[in-house]
Chains A and B, each alone.
Chain A
Amino acid sequence: MLFSSALIGLREGLEAALVVSILVAFLVKTERRHALRWVWPGVGAAVLLSVAVGAVLTYTTAQLSFEHQELLGGSLSIVAVVFVTAMIFWMRKAAKSIAAELRGKMDDALDVGPAAVLLLSFLAVGREGLETAVFFYSAVQTAQSDTVQPLIGFAVGIAAAVVLAWLLYKGAVRFNLSKFFTITGVLLVFVAAGVLGYGLHDLQEAAFLPGISSLAFDASATLPETSWYGALLKGIFNYSQQTTVLQAVAWIAYVVIVLPLFLKPSKKTAPAPAAAAASKE
């Protein structure tokens, strides 16, 4: 009982924490600490909004119709994919501009706008926030009448997600910039692909897109979402034990297109950070 609630908490919290920690690590590493103050309002607004809407949905008879709920979740996911993808390439560009900066040719145009940082934090947290908030309230309600175990489990799971994200941040800041943005960039490509698939699945559930019942695979026996490794996979990559054909095709298409674009050595500047570091010596 405690374990399965903890897994849900871990899963719900992990992805958001992951994206935010990578964002924070990147801002810190590229000496853009001034942009950090735009991260927390985005996170805060997303949390507050989720908590407020979750409370309204839980404690009143107001509700989102199922279709609207999935439509909202699905569209937010797709918007989030756009932003995470933009973040990947922005990191890549910014890393290059760091190299340029170290050569004394700083490019201000590449500096990140507060709007992007704020919206990215908002989307990363807000996307799964509503579901998390509703789960939290039902755990609280159960705790009042019955048992506190689900609530404790949920809290433990969320805490674990934050700790994991913090560890990732700590580890990430230790890497040099080149390694950092390669590793986190690849990670984010898979995160975004998962979010895209998840969003499309929501739209399929709302019957907004067809094909909810044509499955590409069903791994619910071999790699269940309710196992700790399944929860981790779902939390980080939005792994789905029952994946529809549309979901799978979208996931593969995204990875096949975006990953090579990201890894492609861009002219002479791909090894730029290393080269820049060398030239400085």
Chain B
Amino acid sequence: MTVRKTTPLAVVASAAALVALSACDSKSDTAGAAAGGGPIKVSASDTACEVSATTAGAGNLTFEITNKGTKVTEFYLYAEGDRIMGEVENIAPGLNRRLIVEVADAGKYQTACKPGMAGAGIRGDFTVTGGVAKQNDADAQKAQATKSYADYIANNTAALQEETGKFADLVKAGKVDEAKAAYARTRVYYERIEPVAEKFGDLDPAIDVREADLEPGQQFTGFHRLEKDLFKTGLQADSGQIADKLVTDVKELVTKSKALELTALDLANGAKGLLDEVATGKITGEEETFSHTDLWDFQANLDGSKGAITSLRPILQAKDPALTSTLDKEFANVQGLLDKQRAGDGFKLYTDLSQDQVKEFASAVDALSEPLSKVAEVVSK
């Protein structure tokens, strides 16, 4: 009696197993579509095997085989060494059959029609391009991250170009007080994207070199030269020329940054690099020797670092949520300290900071620097 009760269950169980097996394999063809569109048509006859495309991107490939011959045929996709990637048997004359096969690796493959289902078949070369399909998701996330960061760069370089133009005009017009007020505000856009500027050889030194770092024979140009003219020595005979050169250099930077292709790893390294800038230049007050507007730069570096991390956020969140929340906490901590030093629409001068306050900044930056240095490794995993 109990046996009779359980038997239909056995069939249902096997049926469920079959369905489960097919369900676990089921996949949408978005990967195939992304890899290059519709099905690849295969026209098979008794003597020919015409394949409508001989290359495709890695992912799910769909072949649609039509048997136009008089013999029953088969279609195979072989990897090197005749390893079968997929096959359709028993394609009767007149029939269309579909083969969907997942090809994850780029490489050389072969298509084969076998009229009469015999022999090695009519072979054709088939090339699969692109990466490993299983990394598609990760790749898409990285592409999204770099695109988001590219937008951030574009916004800031546009503002930089505009503000630098205004600043240069003030310098050239001899409006020292207004130029002084514009100085730190203009630099913000530069300091946010400094890792990008550093990618273009001598553009960064031309725009941002400090007097103390000048190499023998190097001309003192850029923001800090104008800083000295405005805040210390008074405008010089060539201040206008320096301002013009700054405008030209910034324009070149904007043009070049548009063509720049960043990787997710660049973002991670840039985020860390900006914080190192804070530690080596701003906390020590060395960057703005004459204007003492280091905290403006500090804020801008922090913003830039956060901008890169924000773009990477989906990747970080997926791969290391703990690191992500640590970063959030430490960013907020540094920002909290900075907010205490606000004055007007900007910040207190570096020279107004107490020794303890500088120490407090230093330890907060160290605490943020530590998790930031792990980002590159997490991203490249």
Q: Which of the segments A17-25, A41-49, A99-107, A254-262 contacts the partner chain? A: A41-49
* Contact of A64 with B93 in the complex, beta carbons under 8 Å: no
Whether, in the assembled complex, A153 has its beta carbon less than 8 Å from a beta carbon of chain B, the answer is yes
* Contact of B25 with A8 in the complex, beta carbons under 8 Å: no
Contact of B18 among A41, A53, A221, A242 (CB under 8 A): A53
Specify the chain A residue showing the minimal Cβ separation from B12.
Answer: A45
Contact of B71 among A4, A49, A61, A72 (CB under 8 A): A4
* Contact of A65 with B102 in the complex, beta carbons under 8 Å: yes
Specify the chain A residue showing the minimal Cβ separation from B24.
Answer: A68
* Contact of A66 with B95 in the complex, beta carbons under 8 Å: no
* Contact of A115 with B90 in the complex, beta carbons under 8 Å: no
* Contact of A62 with B6 in the complex, beta carbons under 8 Å: no
- Please classify the interface of chain A as helix (H, G, I), strand (E, B), loop, or mixed, using the class held by over half of its residues: helix
Whether, in the assembled complex, A207 has its beta carbon less than 8 Å from a beta carbon of chain B, the answer is yes
* Contact of B94 with A220 in the complex, beta carbons under 8 Å: no
Contact of A64 among B7, B25, B83 (CB under 8 A): B25
Contact of A38 among B7, B14, B117 (CB under 8 A): B7
Specify the chain A residue showing the minimal Cβ separation from B89.
Answer: A131
Q: How far is the CB of B5 from chain A (nearest CB, A)?
A: 10
A141 to B98, CA, bound (A): 11
* Contact of A63 with B100 in the complex, beta carbons under 8 Å: yes
Whether, in the assembled complex, B116 has its beta carbon less than 8 Å from a beta carbon of chain A, the answer is yes
Residues of A within 8 A of B376 (CB): none
A97 to B119, CA, bound (A): 50
Residues of A within 8 A of B12 (CB): 45
With A63-B25, A138-B96, A138-B97 in contact, is A53–B19 under 8 Å at CB?
yes
* Contact of B27 with A115 in the complex, beta carbons under 8 Å: no
Q: How far is the CB of A264 from chain B (nearest CB, A)?
A: 31
Q: How far is the CB of A202 from chain B (nearest CB, A)?
A: 11
Residues of B within 8 A of A269 (CB): none
* Contact of B117 with A225 in the complex, beta carbons under 8 Å: yes
B residues 74-92 touching A (CB-CB < 8 Å): 82-87, 89-90, 92
Whether, in the assembled complex, B29 has its beta carbon less than 8 Å from a beta carbon of chain A, the answer is yes
A146 to B29, CA, bound (A): 26
Contact of B84 among A57, A146, A212 (CB under 8 A): A212
Specify the chain A residue showing the minimal Cβ separation from B116.
Answer: A226
Q: How far is the CB of A256 from chain B (nearest CB, A)?
A: 29
Residues of A within 8 A of B15 (CB): 45, 49
* Contact of A63 with B26 in the complex, beta carbons under 8 Å: yes
Whether, in the assembled complex, B173 has its beta carbon less than 8 Å from a beta carbon of chain A, the answer is no
* Contact of B93 with A66 in the complex, beta carbons under 8 Å: no
A147 to B12, CA, bound (A): 37
Specify the chain B residue showing the minimal Cβ separation from A117.
Answer: B7
Q: How far is the CB of B208 from chain A (nearest CB, A)?
A: 54
Task: Indicate the member of A56, A150, A206, A221 with the most B CB atoms within 10 Å.
Answer: A150
In the A-B complex, list the 9 residue pairs whose CB atoms are closest, starting with the nearest.
A62-B26, A220-B118, A61-B29, A5-B92, A66-B86, A1-B93, A115-B7, A63-B100, A45-B11
13 pairs across A/B with beta carbons < 8 Å? Answer: A42-B11, A53-B19, A53-B22, A61-B26, A62-B27, A63-B26, A114-B4, A119-B10, A150-B95, A154-B92, A212-B82, A220-B117, A242-B118
